Amino acid sequence: MADMRETDLYAPVKAYLQAQGYEVKGEVGPADVVAVRDGEDLVIVELKLGFSLALLQQGVARLAVTDAVYLCVPKPAARGARAFAGNVRICRLLGLGVMTVRARDGFVEVQCDPCPYAPRKSKARKTRLLREFERRRGDPNDGGATRHGLVTGYRQDALRCAVYLAEYGASRGAAVKRDTGVATATRIMSDNHYGWFERVERGVFTLGPQGRRGLADWADALGGD
């Protein structure tokens, strides 16, 4: 790809469109490629060696002329696949199509066609988001991060366990669960994600030095009920 030029993309794209019955011409007005087929809206293809904000803006500008706008770039190497996939998703959102040209043989592949974007809703993601919302006590993040980081429902539950142990000393997980209302108290203290808890014996936990520091650092994160 390093030795490719934008003009190297033109011949493969032209041949690809001609094979589908289009008449194709390059550099028509501001468009890199314009293709026309009887009775159909014209197709515009913008050629670039890589994605950029300028290319996306260019593609959106062409939508004022036709709904059939494609952005064409060289097919990325495997190491760039993730970033490329993200750019294709952005193009879908904008209603733009994407073509790629393989450097070694000029093979043209349509990654997506231009069409109105209708994202599929994820019920699982929505459920997770609502569960975290309901678990969170108060609104400790003020729309952003605290001085130590984001306050999650999990951290608030861990803090409630820590507060209990600081007041009552070593306790059984069942007692912490009962008195704090944290249903997963035993699991939280056992997993010890933040390094706050120490196991005294099976099912019994106490608050360690790191936990006391955590209480001091996160004292304002418990939120209201």
Tens digit of pLDDT for each residue in 45-80? Answer: 999 999 999 999 999 999 999 999 999 999 988 888
Q: Confidence class of residue 17 from pLDDT cuts 50, 70 and 90?
A: very high
Proportion of the chain above pLDDT 90, given as a percent: 58
- Whether the per-residue pLDDT at 187 is higher than 90: the answer is yes
Tens-place pLDDT, residues 119-163? 567 788 777 777 766 666 655 555 444 445 667 888 889 999 999
Region 133-221: CATH code: 1.10.10.10
Q: Break the chain into its structural domains and give their ranges.
A: 7-112, 133-221
Instruction: Determine contact, residues 23/93, Cβ cutoff 8 Å.
Output: no
**Is there a contact between 72 and 107 (Cβ–Cβ < 8 Å)?**
no
The structure tokens 């690809």 sit at 16
Alpha-carbon span 169 to 97, nearest angstrom: 63
**DSSP codes joined into one string, the chain:** -TT--THHHHHHHHHHHHTTT-EEEEEETTEEEEEE-TTS--EEEEE-SS--HHHHHHHHHHTTT-SEEEEEEEPPPGGGHHHHHHHHHHHHHHT-EEEEE-TTT--EEEEE------PPP-HHHHHHHHHHHHH--S-TTTTS--SS-PPPHHHHHHHHHHHHHHHH-SEEHHHHHHHH--TTHHHHHHHTTTS-EEEEETTEEEE-HHHHHHHHHTGGGS---
- 3.30.420.40, 3.40.1350.10, 3.10.620.30, 3.10.129.10: CATH of 7-112: 3.40.1350.10
Q: Which of the four pLDDT bands, split at 50, 70 and 90, describes residue 21?
A: very high
Instruction: Tell me how far apart the alpha carbons of residues 143 and 133 are, in angstroms, rounded to a whole number.
Output: 13
CA 82-105-84 angle, 5° bins: 10
Say how far apart CA 92 and CA 96 lie, in whole Å: 6
